[in-house]
């Protein structure tokens, strides 16, 4: 919305100013600085290196500038969640469960931070970066609103993650771990487990979904080092079977973790309260996970759009599993179409494409047509060759479209669907720029 001043000149609204400010804090590339973390070796003899400017750097000082002490942060009653896949979903699930039980969960601060002097900082110290600023804004708001419970998702996770300004969480949780953010947390899944488990704090129970043996060993060792207990949460057998939100096995595991996080939180903060069976379906009705294992039906009831943001190999494997399972259970076989894009300086898009292709082949969910979109032109040929090298010859035809925003890829899928009597099951997956653009088109059409 635009406002017009007395001279009929267009001026920006508060919302536009806020968005413009946030945009100035985005990093166009990973920082080049390299910091070695000097610590004793962990019980598993891991050595650790942190690359890039530590995001935790400056957080405590910026919070103090806003008038908030360590005690204020500790008083927030925080559930701190990390992992590779499922962090956001688990946060949403936990929040909804606590809301269903009856708890209430959960600005002008930018100018205050501009001229903050951070002790021992060099003269090139900049204001908070994008994710740092959002974390500061969240803490500031939650403290001011005096909320009963706060659920915080890490950024990348790691020893210097900005959210590690949290020192006294009520409970911590870890979702599935796999290789991701290797430049910052790698190079192995063991080192990633070491970094992710930094959220463990003395006296705060730690919960995790089942992990592979190697990272599980690291998590247990770190829990002992941090003087806390680690509980592995199995799949809850009593979850609703008719919920589209829990259509993916990994989401059922995330929801199982969320239930136990909520129970542990209440045990610590409201011991006379318990999560009852009726809280679970109530929570499910209030959950909306946009762009995560989401199914959108065309108004005519013909084509279905399966939308899932997935930017690492674990996510893409789960996407393929979800898509394959649901399409195989369909009453009638429909034309299968994929719309894919993943362009990022920080991840190998071709390796992700190979993972997706291989996972679909493994799940026996071969596609009839593939559409690559939102790529720079030089990437098209590489993507075509990678797909052809992974998928059995002749099992799918391939198209390329320059943008998702102008609906070219969506229109192509619809055109192909129309040639098949309007019946198609379209999987849209890859980076969240693709997912956001696709959802904007699908919801407006």
Q: Please report the DSSP string for 156-205 in residue order.
A: S-STT-GGGG----SEEEE-B--S--HHHH-SSHHHHHHHHGGG--TTS-
More confident residue, 329 or 20: 329
Least confident of 156-165, 261-270, 286-295, 345-354: 345-354
In eight-state DSSP terms, residue 209 is -
Q: What are the tens digits of pLDDT across the range 219-274?
A: 999 999 999 999 999 999 888 777 777 777 888 899 999 999 999 999 998 888 88
Least confident of 145-154, 162-171, 284-293, 401-410: 401-410
Percent of residues, the chain, with pLDDT higher than 70: 72
Which domains does the chain show, CATH number per domain? Answer: 11-285 (3.40.1190.10), 294-444 (3.90.190.20)
In eight-state DSSP terms, residue 29 is S
- Check pLDDT > 60 for residue 373: yes
Task: Identify the three-state secondary structure at position 338.
Answer: strand
Name the pTM for this structure. 0.73
Confidence of residue 125 (pLDDT cuts 50, 70, 90): low
CA distance linking residue 255 with residue 240, whole number of Å:
11
Contacts of 128 (CB under 8 A, 6+ apart): 25, 58, 62, 113, 136
Q: What are the tens digits of pLDDT across the range 376-416?
A: 444 555 666 666 777 766 556 777 776 676 678 888 888 88
- Check pLDDT > 90 for residue 171: yes
How much is the pLDDT for 47?
47
Which range has highest mean pLDDT (4-8, 190-194, 245-249, 404-408)?
190-194
Q: What is the mean pLDDT of residues 331-335?
A: 74
Torsional sign, CA 185, 189, 193, 194? negative
How much is the pLDDT for 186?
61
Q: What are the tens digits of pLDDT across the range 32-70?
A: 434 444 343 444 455 455 555 567 767 788 788 888 888
Least confident of 27-36, 131-140, 336-345: 27-36
- Check pLDDT > 50 for residue 438: yes
Q: What is the mean pLDDT of residues 272-277?
A: 83
63 in Cβ contact with 136 (< 8 Å): yes
More confident residue, 31 or 142: 142
Contacts of 165 (CB under 8 A, 6+ apart): 56, 59, 60, 63, 73, 135, 139
- Check pLDDT > 60 for residue 361: yes
How much is the pLDDT for 208?
93
Which range has highest mean pLDDT (184-188, 398-402, 403-407, 437-441)?
437-441
């Amino acid at each position: 919305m635009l406002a017009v001043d007395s001279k009929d000149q267009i001026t920006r609204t508060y919302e536009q100013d806020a968005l413009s400010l946030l945009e100035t804090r985005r990093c166009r590339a990973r920082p080049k600085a390299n910091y070695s973390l000097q610590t004793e070796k962990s019980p598993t003899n891991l050595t650790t290196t942190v690359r890039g400017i530590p995001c935790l750097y400056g957080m405590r000082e910026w919070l103090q500038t806003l008038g908030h002490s360590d005690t204020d942060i500790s008083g927030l009653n925080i559930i701190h969640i990390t992992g590779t896949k499922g962090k956001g979903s688990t946060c949403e699930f936990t929040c909804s469960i606590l809301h269903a039980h009856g708890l209430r969960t959960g600005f002008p601060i930018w100018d205050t931070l501009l001229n903050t002097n951070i002790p021992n900082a060099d003269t090139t110290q900049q204001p908070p970066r994008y994710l740092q600023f959002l974390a500061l804004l969240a803490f500031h708001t939650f403290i001011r609103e005096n909320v009963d419970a706060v659920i915080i998702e890490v950024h990348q996770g790691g020893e210097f993650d900005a959210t590690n300004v949290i020192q006294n969480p009520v409970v911590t949780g870890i979702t599935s771990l796999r290789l991701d953010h290797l430049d910052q947390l790698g190079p192995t899944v063991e080192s990633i487990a070491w970094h992710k488990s930094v959220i463990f704090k003395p006296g705060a129970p730690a919960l995790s979904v089942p992990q592979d043996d190697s990272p599980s060993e690291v998590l247990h060792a770190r829990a002992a080092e941090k003087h806390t207990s680690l509980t592995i949460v199995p799949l809850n057998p009593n979850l609703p079977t008719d919920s589209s939100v829990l259509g993916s096995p990994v989401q059922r595991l995330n929801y199982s973790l969320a239930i136990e996080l909520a129970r542990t939180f209440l045990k610590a903060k409201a011991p006379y309260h318990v999560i009852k069976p009726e809280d679970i379906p109530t929570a499910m009705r209030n959950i909306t996970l946009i762009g995560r294992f989401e199914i959108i039906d065309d108004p005519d009831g013909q084509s279905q759009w399966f939308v899932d943001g997935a930017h690492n190999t674990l996510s893409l494997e789960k996407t393929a599993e979800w898509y394959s399972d649901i399409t195989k259970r369909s009453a009638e076989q429909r034309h299968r179409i994929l719309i894919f894009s993943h362009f990022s300086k920080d991840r190998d898009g071709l390796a992700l494409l190979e993972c997706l292709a291989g996972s679909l082949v493994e799940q026996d969910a071969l596609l009839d047509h593939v559409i690559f979109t939102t790529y720079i032109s030089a990437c098209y040929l590489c993507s075509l060759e990678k797909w052809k090298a992974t998928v059995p010859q002749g099992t799918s035809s391939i198209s390329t479209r320059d943008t998702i925003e102008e609906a070219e890829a969506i229109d192509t899928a619809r055109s192909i669907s129309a040639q098949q009597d309007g019946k198609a099951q379209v999987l849209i997956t890859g980076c969240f720029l693709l997912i956001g653009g696709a959802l904007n088109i699908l919801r407006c059409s």
